[in-house]
Structure 1
Amino acid sequence: MQDLVRRCAYLFAAATALLLSAVPAQAHGFSSTVYVDLTAPAKGHVRADLGLEYDLLVVSAADYEKDDALFKVGTAAFDSGDSAKQSAALAAHSDSVMKYVTQRFVIAAGSNACTATQQGDITIQQREGVPYAFLVLDYQCPAADVHEVRSGLFPDSETYVRGTKTIVTYDLDLQKGSSALDSEHPSFSTHQSFAERFWEFFRLGAEHLLTGLDHILFLLALIAGSRRLREIVLAATTFTLAHSVTFILAALGVVHVSPSFIEPVIALSIAVVACWHLWRIWRRGRLATDLATSSRSHVSLDRAGWTRLGVVFCFGLVHGVGFAGALGIQQAWSWTLLWSLLVFNVGIETVQLTLIAITFPLLMLLRRKAPSVALWVTGVIAAGVTVAGLVWFVQRL
């Protein structure tokens, strides 16, 4: 029996360590998102509205074109926080900026690359709490029914960021849709199939959860504090449904909250959910994992379970605002992108349920064979997650 208990404890610890070892040390690492909207004002004419992180554009373009002056004046403008100076810095070195962007972001008609020209001035706007440079490029293309879009903006090889995503929405070639480009999937065709569009955002959702340590820790806190399988499945599903609600409100233009508020609250939510389990251990001891009802219904929860579910839903709304901002739901009635991001949510939910299927049976077996050991194991996990959440909360403030 003792040997079985040790094995259960080791397996649960190993499963937890495996989940954590698959993600970076930072909550999301230093990453960036590029936003592109493509339209076709006329035959053979494609217009691209691009949004790129300002300071990243400065250092990347300066390095790419060996333009030290751009780096100096652009960095000084960034430090000043003056959007007019930032716009002026890019305008003064528009050749370097244009060469970098047009070499890294390419639109082709058939096998022929389209020719890009800049329209108007580069403007600066705040997005996700940082300045973004917005520019309009007009691409003159040979006549074609299908266009291919390729993005290599801010690659890992530049060493400034890792895992850049380019979120593209398009209305071209009698097709409307959206796509998510990265280093592994750098291009797409405007006539991509439904399955291809679905897979892109499903994969993006799965990767977003697996590469976000804060989301992994939030899920571990839910698992550690859940007393029955129905409780953790309901909590994870409620969390995802809350994301969907936020996405819909964002698409309607109802919700827009500053990241300076959202990011600390996300960190605090991790600490609160983890601390919930610690509080039950302190109040109820070995009875912390007992339900106050003996109902065998698949959805029956006691008062504590329903309260916890409500808290998880509220925090899910907050996390969803963070997802929406990071992936570009900023414009009212963005239904094309909304559909893709709902698929993104399906990817998140699938990974969540998979991780639950890996870890929760081991936890239940440990609780059945050695309740005291299970209580200590989950208590240690909850304590570690609480500390991490509070540290992130202070840092993000």
Structure 2
Amino acid sequence: MILTIGLLGMSTDVLAHAVAQGDKGYIQEITGINLIAFTYLGAKHMVTGYDHLLFLLGVIFFLYRMQHIAIYVSLFALGHSTTMLLGVYFNVGINSYLIDAIIGLSIVYKALDNIGAYQRWFGFQPNTKAATLIFGFFHGFGLSTKIIEYDISPDGLIPNLLAFNVGVEIGQLVALAMILILMSFWRKTDGFFRHAYTANVAMMSAGFLLMGYQLTGYFVA
């Protein structure tokens, strides 16, 4: 609920999957191959990207085995890496408000999945691996859209994009490690299963809130 309250206090610009203004200016100004800089920017974006982290939290919420976590995280990484790289390279952009609304929807989807809503409502379980990959594609388009808007220099584009993607994956691993450490402590408490439903409802609320902000921004902008 703290996260939800925090999101309520954010402006629409903050919720638009944006790269920090300082980083935006840096991206627009530099030319040539800058592998270290773009690796850092990619890692920073993932570690501070609450939308990615909320979805990732939802994905691993009830996963206990490392091989299962690795499969789902790899599918998510494959999805967002593919569309981020191809989207920027082929200059395929999507309205940032609409793509971020879909990213909010991905959080809602996963929270509903975690509380067993689809089985109760529709009597079937969606393919969770396919959903993770598909929503990964949308998360990647969210980032590629912003990079396109910032007019990244074509000089050194491919190496810089690859470095940025490496940074994103490094950031994802760091964020995942932090989430797993916290989850491991929480799972050992007696209240984990008692509060798991509430936690996913709060996550779902944050996703709906993100969707609302983005759709409002789309119609108002």
TM range (shorter): 0.7 to 0.9
Q: Percent identity?
A: 28
Report the CA distance shift for 1:355/1:237 in structure 2 as closer, same or farther (over 3 A): same
Q: Does 2:217 align with 1:358?
A: no
Q: Greater Rg, structure 1 or structure 2?
A: 1
Report the CA distance shift for 1:348/1:253 in structure 2 as closer, same or farther (over 3 A): closer
Q: Does 2:214 align with 1:377?
A: no
C-alpha displacement of 1:282: 7.8
Q: Choose which of 40, 46, 57 in structure 2 pairs with 1:209.
A: 46
* Preserved contact between residue 169 and residue 337 of structure 1 (Cα < 8 Å): no
* Preserved contact between residue 250 and residue 324 of structure 1 (Cα < 8 Å): yes
Q: Does 2:105 align with 1:268?
A: yes
Q: Choose which of 310, 316, 329 in structure 1 pairs with 2:130.
A: 310
Q: Does 2:173 align with 1:387?
A: no
More helix by share: 2
CA distance in 1, matches of 2:43, 2:128: 25
More strand by share: 1
CA distance in 2, matches of 1:216, 1:314: 16
CA distance in 2, matches of 1:336, 1:307: 39
TM-score by length of 1: 0.43
Q: 3-state SS of the aligned residue for 2:14?
A: coil
Residue 24 of structure 2 aligns with an amino acid whose one-letter code is K
Q: Does 2:86 align with 1:233?
A: no
CA distance in 2, matches of 1:272, 1:32: 19
CA shift digits 1:98-141 (9 cap, x unpaired): xxxxxxxxxxxxxxxxxxxxxxxxxxxxxxxxxxxxxxxxxxxx
Report the CA distance shift for 1:361/1:212 in structure 2 as closer, same or farther (over 3 A): closer
Residue 79 of structure 2 aligns with an amino acid whose one-letter code is A
Taking CA–CA contacts closer than 8 Å with sequence separation of 6 or more, which of the two structures ends up with the larger relative contact order? 2
* Preserved contact between residue 242 and residue 317 of structure 1 (Cα < 8 Å): yes
Q: 3-state SS of the aligned residue for 1:328?
A: helix
Number of residue pairs matched by the alignment:
203
TM-score by length of 2: 0.73
C-alpha displacement of 1:312: 1.1
* Preserved contact between residue 91 and residue 148 of structure 2 (Cα < 8 Å): no
Q: In structure 1, what is the equivalent of residue 214 of structure 2? A: 396
Q: Choose which of 160, 169, 172 in structure 2 pairs with 1:349.
A: 169
CA distance in 2, matches of 1:170, 1:209: 21
Q: Does 2:175 align with 1:338?
A: no
C-alpha displacement of 1:207: 1.6
CA shift digits 1:267-320 (9 cap, x unpaired): 11111112210117986xxxxxxxxxxxxxxxxxxxx7x921211111111111
Give the gaps of 5 or more residues in structure 2. Answer: 216-221
Q: 3-state SS of the aligned residue for 1:313?
A: helix
Give the gaps of 5 or more residues in structure 1. Answer: 1-16, 35-160, 178-196, 284-303
* Preserved contact between residue 41 and residue 167 of structure 2 (Cα < 8 Å): yes
Report the CA distance shift for 1:346/1:32 in structure 2 as closer, same or farther (over 3 A): closer
